[in-house]
Amino acid sequence: MICEVVVYNIASALRAQEGGADRIELCDNPAEGGTTPSFGMIEQVRQNINLDVYVMLRPRGGDFCYNNYEYHIMKRDLAQCQRLSVDGLVFGILTEEGRIDKKRCKELIAKARPLKVTCHRAFDMTRDPFEALEDCIEIGFDRILTSGQQPKALEGADLITALRRQASGRIIIMAGSGVNEKTVTQIVKQSAVEEIHFSATSFADSVMQFRNPNIVAMGEEAGTEFKYRTVDPNRVRLIRSLAESVKL
């Protein structure tokens, strides 16, 4: 079982490694579903992590249909990631009609090689997942991250199973979204996936001793300015153990 942990900061990357993850997906902006992290972040993670580091190429939140400016940003970010010696890239571009943008994705894949490439959950926004699967295979993606076109992978397990069967070893199908201690056993048992993607999130308290009572979360939820998102290594270990205990 390959366990990929999504992380949003250096502390999370270190904790994912401590917990025994096989690979990390490095992103920024969890509230938007992940965007491209800063180059300083990528560099620090690469220099301090022995795991495979895959970086999200996503210039903004929202949909996955990008204009020419945004596409150029993705190409420039890809080149920078190569210079920083990452192991893989994670991206997906769709057409206005909800299909894989084969032309642009194929161009990015060609530029990315020899790095590995994952089609992220833009796949879950396509109009026909079986058509999108064949498109991803045709243009050279190494794997697809999917929740089975449902909010959570457990709800989409039937489609994940069907996709894995249709793929028949031509591309890796990785289950993600809502993969945790309560769901991983059923997801793996039902779909027989060999790769899972999860966050194992925990929140740590700030080390700040002085806390200005007049400022509340910079206008957002109270208290969040003194917490930061990280990864619980014990959860990583437990989720892996549960996944590997499934008899297929």
The structure tokens 């243009």 sit at 139
CA dihedral for 170, 172, 177, 181, sign (positive or negative): positive
The structure tokens 């003194």 sit at 226
Q: Are 223 and 217 in contact (CB under 8 A)?
A: yes
Both tokens assigned to 168: 């028949």
Phi and psi of 62, rounded to 5°? 90, -145
- Among 3.90.1300.10, 3.30.420.40, 1.10.3720.10, 3.20.20.380, what is the CATH number of 2-244? 3.20.20.380
DSSP assigned state of 193: -
Q: Are 52 and 45 in contact (CB under 8 A)?
A: no
pLDDT at position 62: 96
pLDDT at position 208: 83
Q: Are 173 and 143 in contact (CB under 8 A)?
A: yes
**Low-confidence residues of the chain: pLDDT under 70:** 216-223
CB-side exposure of 25: number of CA atoms within 13 Å?
Answer: 31
Q: What pLDDT digit, counting tens, does each position of 110-164 carry?
A: 999 999 999 999 999 999 999 999 999 999 999 999 999 999 999 999 999 999 9
Length of the chain (residues): 248
Per-residue CA distances from 229 to 10, 127, 145 (Å): 11, 33, 22
pLDDT at position 205: 86
What does the domain layout of the chain look like in residue ranges?
2-244
pLDDT at position 22: 98
